[in-house]
Every structure is written in C-alpha cells, then in structure tokens.
Chains A and B, each alone.
Chain A
Amino acid sequence: MAWWLAHSRWRGKFLLEALVALPLVLPPTVLGFYLLLALGPNGPIGKLMQALGGPSLAFTFSGLVIGSLVYSLPFVLQPLQNAFATVGKRPMEVATTLGASKWDAFFSVILPLCRQGFLSAIVLGFAHTLGEFGVVLMIGGNIPGQTQVVSIAIYEHVESLHYANAHGLSVILPGLSFLMLMALYAFNRKVKWIHGP
C-alpha cells in the first residue's frame, strides 16, 4: 500500500492519502466510536461478519486489533511511503531486469534499501499501539482478561487509588518499551556495520 502510494500517478491518490491520515487528526475517542459502530452487530463490518458466520468484533480482542491497526496505520504508512519515494523506482527496475520477480526484488532490494523507513515504521507503530487509550477503550470496552490493555488498567488503578498496583504495571511499560526499542536500534546498528556507512 505504501509502495503504491509512493509511486502511483493516479489523480485521486490524494483522497486515499487523506483518508489514511485521518486517524492522525481525529481524537481517538471519535475514531473508536465510529469503529465501534462499524464493527458492532448493526454496523457494516459487523453485518458482514455475521453474514459470513463470524463472531461480532465489538468488545473482543480481534476488534481491538483491528481498531489499533486503523489507528496506527498512518504512523506506519508515512515513513514507509517516504522511504519508498526516496529510493525511487529505479532499483526495482534494475532488479527485475536482473531476473528478480517483483516480490523477490522487493525483499532483496527495496526492503534493505528502505531499512530506516521500516525501522521508523515499526517504532512508531509499536509506540502508538502500546500507548493508545481512546480507541481501545471504545472498542474493547475494558473487559479484564480479554480486552483490557496495560494503559487502561493503569488508569483504572489510579482512579480507584490503588497506587501500588498502578506502579507495578507502570514499571512494565517503560521497561518493556525501552528493551524493544533498544533491540531494534541495536539491530539497525549492526546491519549498518555489516553494510558499511
């Protein structure tokens, strides 16, 4: 999708770009509200799921994942789109004339060349999914054991003045986040070291 956005010359491209960027400007609660309506038993996606014999997605873990996906999409898409646009079409063309199929070329040439873009996409996507609140609360409904996420759990503990519990959970987030980000950046450094500056 990012590749297409970066290289398409379709005139209506701006429409899709605006649509994808929408979660950036909307308050998470608004987004969550609409997603809840859409995923609910009477919403279009909910109806579709029912017609296909699937479960309702509202207030479930799957629904939560879909909500997070939509919400974090622009944060993942934009660095990728920028990276693809910077690299341009030429490496892909060269790779295909050298006998690589499109997918082969994508994984063997575009992916390594856009490493930085992918890294920022992962970091931003991760950060947003971990830290989000509104969307999750709206769709997930905070059902312990099913759709309760750490950030909301902390909020609840603080509301009910269980500061000790809030501390216990809060420590996990920065620690876990730091470890993951550290691993990512260390990996990037190592790759750089192998391939030179």
Chain B
Amino acid sequence: MGLKIQICLQKSDFQLVVDTTLPTDEIVAICGPSGSGKTSVLRVLAGLEPTVSGNIIFQDHCWLSAQQFVPPHQRAVGLVFQEPGLFAHLNVSGNILYGRKRSKNSAQAIDLDHLLNLLGIRHLLTRQVNTLSGGERQRVAIARALAINPHLLLLDEPMSGLDAAKKHELIPYLKDLQHSLAIPIIYVSHDHHEIAQLADHLLLLENGQVKAQGSIQELATRLSLPLAHQPDAEVMVNAVVDGYDPVYQLLRLTIDDIKLWVPGRQRAIGEAVKVQILAKDVSICLDRPRQTSILNILETQIDSLMDEGNGQMLIKLCLPSSAILARITRQSSERLALKAGQKVYAQIKSVALL
C-alpha cells in the first residue's frame, strides 16, 4: 500500500522529476521554495496534467502508466486549490453538493452535518459565493472537496486565507479525518509551523526534484536542510503520558526513558501526545545545573553542530530515538568548547503540548 509516484513532467521552463513512494496512512506535507514544483505534484496526482509520463499507483489503483491515464473525474481525489475556485453560478450549498451528487464512493460517506459544523459554514449555505470573505470561501472549498468522499485529499496551501483561530480548529479536524476515515492527506504549505503541527511525513522539493523525504521529526533536525534553520525552528517529539501532579498541575511525560514535566490538564496515562520544543528554548550546560527554575533538564549528547553565520550556532542533541535542536550564540559555543560527541545537559525552558 502507499502512493507510488514515478513521474516526469516537462513544462516550457520547468521540469518536474519525482520518484518516490509516499505513505497513505500518515499526513504527508510537501514543502519547498516557490517554483519548486509543489503544486505541480498535486496537479499530477489529481490528473490535471495529461502530458505527464511515468507511473502513479495509488494503493491498488493504477492512475498512470504507459498505457493508461485515468482522467481526474474517475480518481475520486479531493483537491483544494490555493485560490478556492468556487462556482459563481451556484450558491454555497450548490457548490458543496456539486461533487457529492456525482460521487460514486458512498461506502465511506463523510458526515456532511459534522463537516459543516466543524468548518463553521452551516449559516452560509444559502449565500452566493461572491458575498463570502476569503476565509469563508476557503472553508467552503475544503467542504466541497471532502463532500465527494475522496480516496485521497490534496490540499494546496488551504489555510492561507484562514486566521489563526480557524487554523487551530482545522488542524485537529484534518488529523482526525485522516485517522477515523483513513483518508490519506497530502498537504502543500510554506508554513513550517503548520507542517510541524499537522504532518507526519515530509517531502522536500527543490527545482522540481526531491531534495529529502522522511519523517517530520527526522527532517526537522537534519542540520543540512533549511527546515532546521527557520528563525522559529522547532522539533516535534512523540511522548507518552506517564503521570500527573495535581498540586502543581503538571503532566509527566516520557520520551523513551526520559521524563518531562509539562504544565497542563490531567490526561489518561498511556495517551500518546506530541510535544513541541523550540530550538531557541533549549540551552546547554556542561554540568548539571542545581539552582535553576527550569524544570526539564536532560542528560544528552551532541550529535552535530552548525554555524548559522549570524553569530548563532545550531546544535543537534540526541535523544534515545529522536533528537532536539538547541540554538545558542557562537560565543557560548566556543567558550564551552562544544564539539560533536560531547556529553552535555540540555535545559529546556518550555515544552508545549499539542
């Protein structure tokens, strides 16, 4: 199972060559600078680029081969474009029902009621689309793509028109959708923070070619990739709830055999959670600090260091099965004579629970 993509798309000024297999049981993000071919990959998957050559095999279905080109309307792929592309001659409900009426995949029907509530568009159903705001249009477009009960959902920067609050609501919904209905999601975005929150798997494109691919945790801490060098570089780490301190309202988590304390409400023991640790919130000590306000101090080892060129050093620290990043000044790094392989203590100023 999975999505096997072996394609070559030749445009007048651009060539896209992708040969990879993407997981269909995780949310995949496609990321890269403008013009790297992110949108083209989605268009190829949706069947909107008939000149493409190669093979696409989605789970058991062959969508593209030397002999075969399955047209878009037979692929049952929900595609949300960057600009919503609502039909101006139909009202909101007409738009949403356009694809649903034509859907042949009723086996895993999406609950339309729930969808409308979740996207907050129920009150808009009778409105004309040209009276909607940008964010409303985008939400209607997402509902329209999901209403067809797609086998695969492709999202091209779908949250660019949404405010932070709506994004915050939509991200868990998309994750839930992926889990409960097992709809594979491929997601294109510039926003590293959005990707870190939503995606499990990352495909990094550059100039129409795959630059890197892998789990988000692994790629986010790979110092050779741009992801780690974002000003707000962050790492997501999988953790398990291990206990709760009701007096101080602190949740205890374990990452492998490491314990972390995070402020928050009580949760079920054994629940899998993701925590977010920003590179700028991690500092390094050679000895275990004693008198400090910082709760989480991990004994760790430096994997690698990289001079970011602006007086800052980015340091990758090993955890048993993952890694975190620390950003400190080059001055401190030289003063402490940090080098790869060295044992150090990482002080984590804040850990956010997602």
Binding site for B on A (CB under 8 A): 90-91, 93-102, 104-105, 108-109, 112-113, 115, 195-197
Q: Are B87 and A109 in contact (CB under 8 A)?
A: yes
Given contacts A96-B73, A97-B78, A99-B99, whether A91 and B104 have CB atoms under 8 Å apart is no
Question: What are 20 sample pairs from A and B whose C-beta atoms fall under 8 A apart?
Answer: A90-B83, A90-B85, A93-B48, A94-B81, A94-B87, A95-B98, A96-B47, A96-B73, A97-B48, A97-B78, A97-B145, A98-B98, A98-B102, A98-B145, A99-B73, A100-B98, A104-B73, A109-B87, A195-B89, A195-B90
Given contacts A97-B48, A99-B102, A100-B102, whether A90 and B89 have CB atoms under 8 Å apart is no
Residue in B48, B89, B104, B148 whose CB lies within 8 Å of A98: B148
- Give the 3 A-B CB pairs with smallest separation, nearest first: A98-B99, A99-B102, A112-B89
Residue of B nearest to A194 (CB): B89
Given contacts A97-B46, A108-B98, whether A91 and B73 have CB atoms under 8 Å apart is no
Size of chain B's interface in residues, with CB distance under 8 A? 29
B176 → A minimal CB distance (Å): 23
Binding site for A on B (CB under 8 A): 46-48, 71-73, 75-79, 81, 83, 85, 87-91, 98-99, 102-104, 128, 130, 144-145, 148
Most buried by B among A96, A97, A113: A97
Number of A-B contacts (CB under 8 A): 71
**Cα distance A99–B97 when bound, in Å?**
11
Residue in A99, A104, A108, A113 whose CB lies within 8 Å of B104: A99
Give the chain A neighbours of B75 by CB distance below 8 A: 97
Chain A, interface SS category: helix
Give the chain B neighbours of A91 by CB distance below 8 A: 85, 87
Most buried by A among B73, B79, B85, B130: B73
Q: Are B87 and A97 in contact (CB under 8 A)?
A: no
Q: Are A97 and B79 in contact (CB under 8 A)?
A: yes
**Cα distance A112–B145 when bound, in Å?**
21
Residue of B nearest to A191 (CB): B89
Give the chain B neighbours of A93 by CB distance below 8 A: 48, 72, 85
Give the chain A neighbours of B128 by CB distance below 8 A: 195-197
Q: Are A96 and B72 in contact (CB under 8 A)?
A: yes
Give the chain A neighbours of B102 by CB distance below 8 A: 98-100, 104
B150 → A minimal CB distance (Å): 9
B316 → A minimal CB distance (Å): 41
Given contacts A96-B72, A97-B48, A99-B76, whether A109 and B89 have CB atoms under 8 Å apart is yes
Given contacts A90-B81, A94-B81, whether A100 and B89 have CB atoms under 8 Å apart is no
**Cα distance A101–B74 when bound, in Å?**
8
Q: Are B73 and A97 in contact (CB under 8 A)?
A: yes
Q: Are B148 and A99 in contact (CB under 8 A)?
A: yes
Residue in B77, B83, B130 whose CB lies within 8 Å of A97: B77
Give the chain B neighbours of A95 by CB distance below 8 A: 87, 98
